[in-house]
Chain A
Amino acid sequence: MDAVTAMYVAQGIHGLCYGMILFLVASGLTLIFGMMGILNLAHASFFMLSAYFSYTVLKVTGNFWLALLVAPVAAALLGVLLERYLLRRVHAFGHIGELILTVGVALVILEGVKVFWGTENLPLPVPEFLQGLVNIGGMDYPVYRIFIIGLSFSILVILALILYKTRLGMVVRAAVSDADMVNALGVNVPLVFMFVFGAGTWMAGVAGVAIAPILTVFPGLADQMGMDAFIVVVTGGFGSLGGAFLVSIIFGFLSSYGVQFVSTLAPVLMFIFMAIVLVIKPIGLFGERE
């Protein structure tokens, strides 16, 4: 294989890796939106919080698997608490109150993180057994990125199986399309909301732990990922999982090949893509409602 193809493939792996991470964050966001009609602006803050948790767990125990297990669950627990004790109470005041509430939570988490962990970049080592390169078909790939792709892909498959093959998934999908009716049928919808909120923050948390060794952990993490995830949700169509997946992968490739070919334009490529989609279809690629 010649050098040019190798470069394309290597950038493709980078793009796919980032796209999958993006999807982990955006899928939770879009699910929560579909059920409650609000975009949780603190969603990326839980992503960042989980990365910080994993830093602390790694520092104390040195076990990557433990960090991957504990940190997202801790973030998800906080997410459930946010839903149960804050969001649910202001639900009666309409969407604007809920949206602004999540802004307040995002601010508190951002500043709280600075108080507890400081403002500097905290480096996280790639776990030893995932270091180095693996040779597939005459090409060297970094093992850790392959691991991230595999991890995200398995979560994606599990998510799809739960959503489309179980009774719980059926209830969730029904609640996405009409929460009131499902509630009237005797399903405890607030409990389902809480579960979905927790699952969404858990996925964001997994993404946070997975990306921490690549990007290092710093307070700007939420801003960076949050904005990309919002654009994914807006472009893919509010509440559409398939749209979120497709757009995440497109954005992953856009960012990796964009840096390669038009490096000055790279940061705005996603915005341009979003603007084009929205001008043609204001509710997003696969959006069914506003």
Chain B
Amino acid sequence: MMNSMTKWILWAVLLGMLVIYPRIFGIYYTNVFVTFAIFALFAVSLNLLLGYTGLLSFGHAMFFGTGAYGTALALEHIEGMPLLSAVLIGFFAAVILALILCPIMVRVSVTAFAMLHLAFGQLMFVLALKLRAITGGEDGIGGFPIPPFSIPGIVSIDMTDPSNFYYFAIAVLGVSIWILWFFTKTPFGSIMVGVRDNANRVDYMGFKVPQTKAIIYMFAGGFAGVAGAIYALFQNLIAAGDGFHIIVSFAPIMMTMVGGIGNFFGPVAGAAIFGIIEELTSRYTERVELVMGLILILVIMYAPMGFLGFIQIIKNRWFEKVAAKANTEEAL
């Protein structure tokens, strides 16, 4: 086991790498990293449902899109909207959507849950396309002002500069992922896993299963909304296709499956793997999704616990051999 000292040093090194990253790799790869971080948070929030609670959602994009549109609309229509409040509006817009949907969603089976999300996700997509007066239809909302990040009287940082925005985005996304991680470590997080493994038993123990699911659902939705809000700020544009399209719902599922469903950081690894694959394959072919679909099929067929699960197995095997050897030596 690592002692706490090494752990802190590792975290400090990671933080230092994040700080100097834009200086080393330049603007293009900085933007690639921000995209990765957005999808990492999006996938982690989905994994809260999929991996921890055992609920598969084919419409997680609706929270992503709602957060993005919430932030974009707030900045477009409210004069002098501060940056963090705009992100918070995105968060609460997604939470409210989750609040509206959860009375139906917490009471249905796994397959019905998935299909209802597919349908509601598509409904949101159609609404975003058709309510042209509010959402701008296919063109979306673009060119809204990006306010500077300011603490009144102390500091005001221009957010149109890519590297400044990088620090802001990484901070917000990092803190969000940390909150979700902390959430899974609370006693409530254990109930969550209990609901996945045996909902009846959790019920007998006196916990309220539907209410538990509803709270998790709102957490997952809200933080998908934060990811969407940062995405809207990052692109300075949100259109129906980017926010609500079914591919946006599938992306975090694929990332979670490929990265490793049984691990909190699996979706982060998955987002990284997908980012790298997209970077590499888009140089040779336009059909990036073909490659991703094939990878998804292969992973489900041969490595259902994903990349991190695969590493875990190898690790276990290696350490088991060592342990077994030690045991036999002791016995002898």
List chain A positions with a Cβ less than 8 A from chain B. Answer: 33, 37-39, 41, 86, 89-90, 93, 95-97, 99-101, 103-108, 110-112, 114-115, 223, 227, 230-231, 233-234, 238, 264, 267-268, 271, 274, 278-279, 282-283, 290
A144 to chain B, nearest CB (A): 28
- Cα A15 to Cα B114 with chains together (Å): 28
**B287–A111 CB distance below 8 A:** yes
The answer to whether B112 has its CB under 8 Å from any CB of chain A is yes
Given known A107-B290, A234-B115, A279-B104, contact A95–B110 (CB-CB < 8 A): yes
Given known A114-B287, A264-B130, A267-B130, contact A101–B297 (CB-CB < 8 A): yes
Chain B residues positioned under 8 Å from A271 (CB to CB): 119-120, 122-123, 126
List chain B positions with a Cβ less than 8 A from chain A. Answer: 50, 54, 56, 58, 104, 107-112, 114-116, 118-120, 122-123, 126-127, 129-130, 246, 250, 253-254, 257, 287, 289-290, 292-294, 296-297, 300-301, 304
With CB as the reference atom, state the residue of chain B lying closest to A284: B112
Listed by A's residue number, 25 A-B pairs whose Cβ atoms lie within 8 Å are A33-B111, A39-B111, A90-B300, A90-B304, A96-B50, A96-B56, A97-B300, A99-B111, A100-B254, A100-B300, A101-B296, A104-B254, A104-B296, A106-B293, A107-B289, A107-B296, A112-B290, A227-B118, A233-B115, A267-B130, A268-B126, A268-B130, A271-B122, A278-B104, A282-B107
Most buried by B among A104, A107, A223, A234: A104
Chain B residues positioned under 8 Å from A227 (CB to CB): 118-119, 122
7 shortest interchain CB distances as A-B pairs = A107-B293, A111-B290, A104-B296, A290-B109, A108-B293, A104-B297, A271-B123
Question: Which label, helix, strand, loop or mixed, suits the secondary structure of the A interface?
Answer: helix
- Cα A264 to Cα B107 with chains together (Å): 32
B63 to chain A, nearest CB (A): 18
- Cα A106 to Cα B254 with chains together (Å): 13
- Cα A227 to Cα B124 with chains together (Å): 13
In-complex Cβ contact of A95 among B50, B107, B111 (8 A):
B111
A96 to chain B, nearest CB (A): 5
- Cα A290 to Cα B112 with chains together (Å): 7
Chain B residues positioned under 8 Å from A238 (CB to CB): 111-112
**B111–A86 CB distance below 8 A:** no
With CB as the reference atom, state the residue of chain A lying closest to B290: A111
Chain A residues positioned under 8 Å from B301 (CB to CB): 86, 89-90, 101
B314 to chain A, nearest CB (A): 20
With CB as the reference atom, state the residue of chain B lying closest to A231: B119
